[in-house]
Amino acid sequence: MPELPEVETVCRGLREQLSAKSEVVSVALSRKKLREPMPKSLAAKLSGQAFIAVRRRAKYLLLDTENATVISHLGMSGSWRMAATDEAAQKHDHCRINFADGRSLIYHDPRRFGLLLLAELGAEQKSKWLKSLGLEPLSVDFTAAYMLQKAKRKSVAIKNFIMDQKIVVGVGNIYAAEALFHAGIRPQKLASRVDLASWQRLIAAIQNVLGDAIKHGGTTLRDYRNARGELGEFQAELFVYGRENENCKTCGSPIKWLKQTGRSSYFCKVCQK
């Protein structure tokens, strides 16, 4: 589900919601496991603490107290919501963090592909989930020269390459399709065949589409909600994703669909070469 813009939107929302810095009084976990079991020590570690910062690395949310960091990944269907502590639980709620001010922060995840882990303060980057991650796409390090070098002698399609979290993080199936459209590059093109000028266009396209999606609060296809329970609005701005047989917004020709390594791709065969 959530790619960088959705996770960033949730991050900003949680930062605001947690700015009250109320102490945790208790934590309740469901018996179901997410991708990994949730740590039993969560209640003991968080009780008496307040969250002092909320950060994002790739598609991971990092919630800091003074002595630990909660690592959260939303998988395909995860969401966080703030509710009154006396509000009834919903099906698929898996973690409920109760604060002294009468509110509760709740992790909800029907498919349970998400993650909820605990790291010692400052040690989250050592987690196996974070240690091999590539560059942040909105950082100054993300350059055409870097991508050209990394793509050398790679026989993967460009779409798979820009979705490889070891190379660049945060780009998933929707925004890969959208960025390639805006850069005029077909998703099947080999990464090693993309020249420097094309990389410059593609990097600009990735940064623009991620930035615009953040401004629109992300894309809601089905499950995604921000920390206030609101939907994203970027789905109205999509040029190709999910638009098979609909007219290209630029040239009018029908958008094409293909399956690449098990995932749907969408492109315009006139606008993308």
Region 177-196 residues binding DNA, contact defined as CB under 7 A: none
Region of 13-21, 96-104, 128-136, 200-208 interacting with DNA (CB under 7 A): 128-136
Both tokens of residue 14? 């949680």
Region of 93-101, 167-175, 178-186, 248-256 interacting with DNA (CB under 7 A): 167-175
**Residue of 80, 99, 107, 224 that binds DNA (CB under 7 A):** 224
Report the nearest approach of DNA to the CB of residue 180 (Å).
14
**Residue of 13, 137, 217, 218 that binds DNA (CB under 7 A):** 218
**Residue of 98, 160, 198, 272 that binds DNA (CB under 7 A):** 160
146 binds DNA, rule: CB under 7 A: no
- How is residue 230 annotated by DSSP? P
Q: What is the edge-to-edge ordering of all strands in the sheet holding 68-73?
A: 53-57, 60-64, 68-73, 115-120
CB distance 95 to 34 below 8 Å: no
9 binds DNA, rule: CB under 7 A: no
Q: Which residues contact 110 (CB under 8 A, 6 or more apart)?
A: 77, 91, 92, 223
User: CB-wise, 23 or 211, nearer to DNA?
Assistant: 211
Both tokens of residue 83? 């509710």
73 binds DNA, rule: CB under 7 A: yes
1 binds DNA, rule: CB under 7 A: yes
Burial 238-268 (b: 16+ CB within 10 A, else e): bbbbebeeeebeeeeeebbeeebeeeebbbb
What angle do helix axes 196-215 and 4-17 make, rounded to 10 degrees?
40
User: CB-wise, 36 or 195, nearer to DNA?
Assistant: 36
DSSP helix/strand/coil, 246:
coil
Q: Using CB under 7 A as the criterion, which residues of the chain lie in contact with DNA when the complex forms?
A: 1-3, 6, 33, 35, 58-59, 73, 75-77, 91-92, 110-113, 128-129, 132, 154-157, 160, 163, 165, 172-174, 218-224, 232, 261-264
